[in-house]
Structure 1
Amino acid sequence: MIAAHSVAHAIVIISLVAALGLAVGNIRLFRVNLGIAGVLFSGIAFGHFGITVNKEVLEFLREFGLILFVYTIGMQVGPGFFASLRQAGLRLNLLAASVVLLGAALTVLVSRLGGIEMASAVGLYSGAVTNTPSLAAAQQALKDIGSLGEEAARLPGIGYAVAYPFGILGTILAMVLARWLGRVDLAREASSKPCGGDAGDLTRMNIQVENRNLDGLPLSRIPALESLGVRFSRLFHEGRLSVPQRDTVLHVGDVLLAVGPKARLEELVLVVGRKSDMDLRSLPSDIISSRIIVTHKEVLGKTLGELDLASRYGVVMTRAARAEIEFVPNAQYALHFGDALQAVGEKEAVAKVAELLGNSPRALSHPQLIPVFTGIALGVLLGSLPIALPGMPAPVRLGLAGGPLVVAILLSRIRRIGPLSWYMPM
C-alpha cells in the first residue's frame, strides 16, 4: 500500500514514533514521568526492530526540527536575556562556562581511560547533559572534516542515544535525592515568596498623603518618583475618586493607589505619608482596570510618551507584560506587537485606548509567518559562516543550532524591523 522508504512511509513512521513516545512520556511512575523524552525511547525501540525511514528524509526532519526548537527557544528567552546579563552577567557566564568546561574535561578523561573514541565520547557528553544542539554541532564539525568519513559522523549520535536515558534518569534521581535530603516541602515552597523578595514582583498599595511639603504640589513633583518606577492608578480626594495625572495637585489627606515593586512602594511611603487602610479599588466609581493587547501596526514602535494617553484620554498604564515579564512602563517605553498593558481609566476612555492599540487577541493566535521564516533563513546563513581558528583542522561554524538561536535572541530583542514584527505567541 505504501512503498518502503517513500515520503509517505517516513511520515507514517515518524508520526507513530511521536505518538507512542508522547504516550509513554505521560505515564507516571512514582509521581515522575518522562515527558517529551519518551519520544527518544520510542525512536530507539523502532530502530532496534529495524523499522527505519529514508535517510534523506530523516536527516531533513532531524535538522529542521532542531532549527524550529532552538529558534522558538531563542524567541522565548530573548527579551529577558540581555536584562539577565546586565543584572548577573558575569556570574551567570562563569557558571555556564564552568559547567561546560568541567563536562568537557570529564569527557576527555573518560575517553582516555576507557579507550572510547572521541567522537563517541562527545555524543556521550551531549546525551549525559541532554543537550541536543551540542550533538548537532559535533556532527556538523565531524562532517566538515571530510577525511574522517561518514561513519565517524554517526558515532556521536550513538553515544548520545546511549547516554541520554541515563542523563534523564540521573537528573530526576538527583532532584528527588536533593528534595529528600533537604526535606523540601513543594507545596510550601510554591506558596511562599522567594527569599528577600523579587524587585520585579508588582503589587498595589494605598498610600495616604501626610507630608505637608507635598500639599499643593503636582504629582510629578514627588521626590524621586521617576527613579522609583511606580505608577498611580487612582486618587481619592474629598470623597471623589479619579485617575491622577502628572499635573494633578496633591493635598494632605488624599489617598493614592500606587502600583510597583513592593520595596519601591515602601520607599514611596516614607516620602508621601503612610499606608492607608482604605482600598480604593473597592470603592464604587466609573473607573475600571482593563488588560489591553497591542496589535495595531500603527502604534508599534511608538512610546507611551508619544501617545500621551493620560492627557488625551485620561488613561494611565500601570503595568506592562512582555514575554511573560511584568514591569511598570515609563514614558520611554516603546510598544511592540503582543505587549499586554494594564489600563486604568473611565470605561469609555479605556475603550477608546483599546481601539487605538488594537486589543485583538485573535491576531496573537496567528503568527506572522514571513518574519518567522525570514529569521530562520538568517539563522541558517549565520550558522553556515566559517570561522577559521588557528590549529583547527576545519573552520568552526555556529551550525544549524547555534545560528538560529543567536538570530532568534537578537530579533526577539529588536522585536520589529520596518513592517516585520518578530513576535511569536507563547
Structure 2
Amino acid sequence: MFDILLHHSTLVLFGIIFFGIALGSIKIYGLNLGLSGVLFVALAAGHYRLAIPDGVGQLGLALFVYCVGLSAGNRFFSAIAKQGSKLAIMSAVIVGVSALFTCLFGIWFKVPAGISSGIFAGACTSTPALAAATESLPGASGSGVSIGYGIAYPFGVVGVVLFVQLLPRLLHFDLNKEAKAMHSRQEVSIISRLVRVTQPNLIGQNIADCKLLDGLHCMVTRVVRNDRLMPLTPEDTFREGTEVLIVGNSDTMPHDIAFLGEVCDNPYPMDSQKERRKLILTNKNYAGHKLRDLKTLRTDGIIISRISRLGFTFVPTGETTLERNDVLTVVGTPENLTKYGDKIGHRSQDMNQTDLLSLGFGLSLGIILGLVNFSLGNGAGISLGIAGGPLIVALLLGHFGRLGPIVGYIPRPTRLLLQDLGLVFFLADAGIKGGADLVDTVATHGAAVFIMGVIVTCSGMFAGYFVGMKVFKMNILECLGGICGGMTSTPALGAIASKTDSQAPVVSYATAYPVALILMTIIAKVIIQTIGGVVGI
C-alpha cells in the first residue's frame, strides 16, 4: 500500500508541497526558508526517484512569472527609465564574472568544455544556456553538457535562494524597514486637503466647467455647504472664500494648493460611508474614454477621486482613460452613486472575480512568444522560453491594463494565490530533476567539479552585490532582485517576495532578467570555444 502511494505522482507532488511548506515555516534564529522549503524536500524526493506529473514545472513557471509581470507592470517601464542601465550593467557583470570563473577553473581542473559549459548553465540556472551549449556539442560531448548542468544546477538553485535569504540577515538589513524607506523616497501617497479658494481667476466660474482646473494634478471632490463637506453638484461655483476638499498626490499637492488659495483647518464633518463608493467598470461601451470627455460632474453628478488598476491606485486627471475592470472611488449623493454604478455596469461580485478567458489567452500568447526564435546571426538564435514570454506579455498588460481583448485585471488575493501555487509547482519540479542524478554525477566526476559549480554561482552573486550596493548605491531590495534576475533565478525571487510586500525586487528582476538571458546564451558558446581550445571538448 505504501509503495502504491509513493508511485502516485499527484499525491507525491502535493506531499512535497505540504512537507516543503512545513519545513519552510520552521524558524531558526529568526530565519526561515518560506516556500523555498519545497525545493529542499523535492531534492530529497528526486534522490529517491520519486516522480511528479509531467509538465507541472512548466505550468508553475508560466503562472508564477505571469502573475509577477502583472504585479510589476505598472512600475516596470518607469524603473527602466530610472534604473535600467544600472541593472543591465549589473546583470552583465554577474554573467561575465560567472563565465570568467568557469573558464579559469575549467582550465585549472582540466574539465572538458562540454561539462564546463554545462556547469556554467547549471550554476546560473539557465536552461537557454544549456540548450545553446548542447546544440553546439552534439553527440557524446553534448551529454557532457547535461552532466555538468546536473552537477551545478542544485546548488545554483539552492545557493541563490540561501544567498538572498542570508545576506540581509548577516548584514543586519530589515527588509520591511528598507521597503518603507524606499516607498517614502520613490512613491507618493494620496492625500486630501481642505482649501479656501482665493485665486481671482477662479471666482465666479462653475466648478464643473472650469478649464483652469485642467492644469492641476488633484481632483476637487467636495465643497463646504451649511458647515458640512458635501459632494459637488453641477451648479456649484467658485466664490471668494469657498472651501473645497481636494484629493491628490503628496508631491504635487503644494503646487495645487498654491494655485487654488490656502489651506484651512476647519473640522467640517462629512458622510463618507453614504457619499463615497468603490465601483468597478465593466461596461465596455463606457470604457476607453478620457475622463475630461465624460464630464462626470456635469452629466452624472459625481466625481471620480481615485482609480485602482491592477493593484495600483492613483488620482486621475482629465487625460486619464478609463479601462474595463478599473475600480473607481466615486464621490456623490447616494442616488447619483447608484445611477452611476448602473451606468458603468458595476457588479459587486466582479471586484473579486478573475476573467479566466483573459488569463488563458494571455498565458497562451506569452507561451507562443516564448517559443519564437530570434536570430543572432551565424545560424544562432535565442528564444525567451516559458519564463520570458509570459513575463513580457504580463508586463505589458500590467502597464497598459489591456492588450486588445486581453484584460490584465486579477484581484490581488487571486493573483497572489496563483503566484504562490505556480512557484511551488516549479520548485517541486526543479528539485525532483536536480536531485535525481546529484549523487551519481558527483561520484563520477569528483567533488572538484561540484566545487567549481559552487564557485561559479557564488562569484556571480557577490559580483552583483558589489556592483549594486557599492558602485550604484542601490537599495538592498533592488539589489537582491537584480541578482535574482542576473542569475535567472525564479525560486530566489520567490524567496524575496515571501519576505516583503515591496515590488522593488520584482521590478529589478524583470529588468535584469532579459539581459542575463541573452548574454548567457551567447557566452555558453564562447566558453566552449575558450576551454575547448585548451582542455578539449
User: Following TM superposition, by how much is the alpha carbon of 1:203 offset from its aligned partner in structure 2, in angstroms?
Assistant: 0.2
Alignment match of 2:335 (pick from 345, 348, 353)? 348
Query: Which position in structure 2 is the counterpart of 1:13?
Result: 12
- The answer to whether the 8 Å contact 1:317/1:341 transfers is yes
Alignment match of 2:152 (pick from 159, 171, 180)? 159
Number of aligned pairs?
A: 402
What's the CA shift string for 1:175-224, capped at 9, x where partnerless?
Answer: 123336xxx6966x7777855574x3110000112344533233378796
- The answer to whether the 8 Å contact 2:309/2:401 transfers is no
Identity across aligned pairs (percent)?
Answer: 25
Moved more, 350-359 or 409-418: 409-418
- The answer to whether the 8 Å contact 2:204/2:238 transfers is yes
Alignment match of 1:105 (pick from 96, 107, 110)? 96
Judging changes above 3 Å, is the alpha-carbon distance between structure 1 residues 247 and 93 closer, same or farther for their aligned structure 2 residues? farther
Q: 1:2 & 1:285 partners in 2: Cα distance?
A: 61
- The answer to whether the 8 Å contact 2:309/2:409 transfers is no
- The answer to whether the 8 Å contact 2:232/2:302 transfers is no
Moved more, 208-217 or 261-270: 208-217
Secondary structure of the structure 2 residue equivalent to 1:233: strand
What's the CA shift string for 1:122-145, capped at 9, x where partnerless?
Answer: 22123xxxxxxxx23334434554
Secondary structure of the structure 2 residue equivalent to 1:21: helix
Query: Which position in structure 1 is the counterpart of 2:77?
Result: 82
Q: 1:68 & 1:166 partners in 2: Cα distance?
A: 23
- The answer to whether the 8 Å contact 1:80/1:325 transfers is no
Moved more, 155-164 or 204-213: 155-164
Judging changes above 3 Å, is the alpha-carbon distance between structure 1 residues 387 and 272 closer, same or farther for their aligned structure 2 residues? closer
What letter is aligned with 1:12?
A: L
Judging changes above 3 Å, is the alpha-carbon distance between structure 1 residues 241 and 408 closer, same or farther for their aligned structure 2 residues? closer
Q: TM-score, normalised by structure 2?
A: 0.67
- The answer to whether the 8 Å contact 2:228/2:270 transfers is no
2:382 paired with 1:396: yes
User: Following TM superposition, by how much is the alpha carbon of 1:421 offset from its aligned partner in structure 2, in angstroms?
Assistant: 2.9
Query: Which position in structure 1 is the counterpart of 2:51?
Result: 53
User: Following TM superposition, by how much is the alpha carbon of 1:333 offset from its aligned partner in structure 2, in angstroms?
Assistant: 2.5
Q: 2:270 & 2:62 partners in 1: Cα distance?
A: 52
Q: 1:121 & 1:368 partners in 2: Cα distance?
A: 41
- After superposition, residues 146-225 of structure 1 pair within 5 angstroms as 147=138, 148-150=141-143, 152-153=145-146, 155-179=148-172, 194=183, 198=187, 200-219=188-207, 225=213
What letter is aligned with 1:409?
A: L
- After superposition, residues 277-426 of structure 1 pair within 5 angstroms as 277-280=265-268, 282-283=269-270, 288-391=275-378, 394-416=380-402, 419-426=405-412
User: Following TM superposition, by how much is the alpha carbon of 1:22 offset from its aligned partner in structure 2, in angstroms?
Assistant: 1.1
RMSD: 3.2
User: Following TM superposition, by how much is the alpha carbon of 1:422 offset from its aligned partner in structure 2, in angstroms?
Assistant: 3.5
What letter is aligned with 1:178?
A: L
- After superposition, residues 245-256 of structure 1 pair within 5 angstroms as 248-256=236-244
Judging changes above 3 Å, is the alpha-carbon distance between structure 1 residues 265 and 246 closer, same or farther for their aligned structure 2 residues? farther
Q: 1:4 & 1:138 partners in 2: Cα distance?
A: 38
User: Following TM superposition, by how much is the alpha carbon of 1:256 offset from its aligned partner in structure 2, in angstroms?
Assistant: 0.7
> Which segments of 5 or more consecutive residues in structure 1 lack a partner in the other structure?
127-134
- The answer to whether the 8 Å contact 2:279/2:348 transfers is no
2:28 paired with 1:29: yes
Write 1 or 2 for the structure with the bigger share of helix. Answer: 2
Query: Which position in structure 1 is the counterpart of 2:68?
Result: 73
Q: 1:398 & 1:145 partners in 2: Cα distance?
A: 19
Q: 1:196 & 1:71 partners in 2: Cα distance?
A: 28
- The answer to whether the 8 Å contact 1:140/1:399 transfers is no
- The answer to whether the 8 Å contact 2:121/2:130 transfers is no
What letter is aligned with 2:73?
A: G
- The answer to whether the 8 Å contact 1:137/1:401 transfers is no
What's the CA shift string for 1:218-245, capped at 9, x where partnerless?
Answer: 3378796323310011111464644336
Judging changes above 3 Å, is the alpha-carbon distance between structure 1 residues 386 and 164 closer, same or farther for their aligned structure 2 residues? closer
Secondary structure of the structure 2 residue equivalent to 1:388: strand
Secondary structure of the structure 2 residue equivalent to 1:260: strand
Secondary structure of the structure 2 residue equivalent to 1:342: strand
Q: 2:5 & 2:88 partners in 1: Cα distance?
A: 43
Q: TM-score, normalised by structure 1?
A: 0.82
Q: 1:380 & 1:344 partners in 2: Cα distance?
A: 42
Judging changes above 3 Å, is the alpha-carbon distance between structure 1 residues 270 and 333 closer, same or farther for their aligned structure 2 residues? closer
User: Following TM superposition, by how much is the alpha carbon of 1:316 offset from its aligned partner in structure 2, in angstroms?
Assistant: 0.2
- The answer to whether the 8 Å contact 1:120/1:158 transfers is yes
- The answer to whether the 8 Å contact 1:229/1:330 transfers is yes
What's the CA shift string for 1:48-106, capped at 9, x where partnerless?
Answer: 2x23227xx44x22222212222222222223323444xxx1x4221221221111121
